[in-house]
Amino acid sequence: MLVDDAVALVPSIPGRRALLGLAGAPAAGKSTLARRLVAGVNDRLGAGTAAYVPMDGFHLSNAQLDRLRLRDRKGAPETFDVDGYVALLGRLRSERTRPVYAPDFDRRLDEPVAAGLVVPAGTALVVTEGNYLADDGPGWGQVRDLLDELWYVETPRRLRERRLLRRHVRGGRTEAEARAFIASSERLNARRVELTRPFCTRVVSPRDP
């Protein structure tokens, strides 16, 4: 089981924290799997052993996307603060004496939320997930070096796009607007992510926690 493998990553050396990354196309089920892994590790080893920190907290704000004229490409690599994410991973890996605060993403607001998450000092494993963890574009190439393992979450395209349609409609788009955004942006992002599959440690399914 994947939980067994996540438990095995929990380090026994004092002062060291392990980082497990989950990469995959939009709506592949990365966040669902990450939460299940964290819950499974905590059930086995005790509450607070593992924590979940998604990459989505590093979305640029809508104000910045408008300034950069990138609102219609939200979710593309250039619409994230990759340097901030890399810096956070470095802190998560090394800081074990103080809590580490991290931004979250509010889908209802469609905006990042500063310090929405906290990783307590005693946390031994952090599970992080995002589309571009295995990407080699500017800034992104540093992410892999900070992760102990990087798993690729694979899900059929039709299922992913059904999820994306529901997600965007719940977020306020009409069905026509959602379908247009999927066709013009989400598919481009998914194709880029799919090219990074060979750089991951292994390929997993969100149905097998």
Select from 23, 46, 38, 1 the least CA-distant residue to 126.
38
Per domain, the residue ranges of the chain are: 2-204
Determine the pLDDT at residue 171.
Answer: 83
Over the stretch 125-163, which tens digit does the pLDDT of each residue have?
999 999 999 999 999 999 999 999 999 999 999 999 999
Asked if the model's pLDDT at residue 76 lies above 90, the reply is yes
CATH topology for 2-204 is Rossmann fold (3.40.50)
User: Sheet containing 125-130: which strands, arranged edge to edge?
Assistant: 50-52, 125-130, 18-23, 149-153, 202-204
pLDDT for residue 82: 98
Q: What is the rounded end-to-end Cα distance, in angstroms, of the chain? A: 6
Nearest to 109 by CA among 170, 162, 64, 186: 170
Number of H helices, E strands in the chain: 7, 7
Q: Does the pLDDT value for residue 209 go beyond 60? A: no
DSSP class of residue 153 equals E
Interval 193-204 mean pLDDT: 96
